[in-house]
Amino acid sequence: MADVKTPSRYLMRVELSPAARESFLKYCDHVGLTQVSVTSRIVECVVNQDEVVQAMILGHYPHRDQRRAAELILARMVGVKPSRLRKSVGDFLKDVE
């Protein structure tokens, strides 16, 4: 029986709206990377996030819950309680104003 090797890379097609395509092309040009390279990096980044972050990126939270979900994600990322994060952000915003 012949050895079956798993490919090291897969190619996929991506469907974009005309506006998204234009923005994507401008972004690729701005950062000096190919479309394939940027797409690959975006996919790698998303699939390596936990489910909560993936859901936020994919817009699975209702609009009314997005702020709270973002606070929870940021709090988890910096390792503090959400209430402490709100205080820190509030202090930061006061200093900026």
Q: pLDDT tens digits for the chain (97 residues)?
A: 567 888 888 888 999 999 999 999 999 999 999 999 999 999 999 999 989 889 999 999 899 988 888 888 888 887 777 777 766 666 655 654 5
3-state secondary structure the chain: CCCCCCCCCCCCCCCCCHHHHHHHHHHHHHHCCCHHHHHHHHHHHHHCCCHHHHHHHCCCCCHHHHHHHHHHHHHHHHCCCHHHHHHHHHHHHHHHC
Return phi, psi of residue 86, to 5°: -60, -40
* Whole-structure pTM value: 0.67
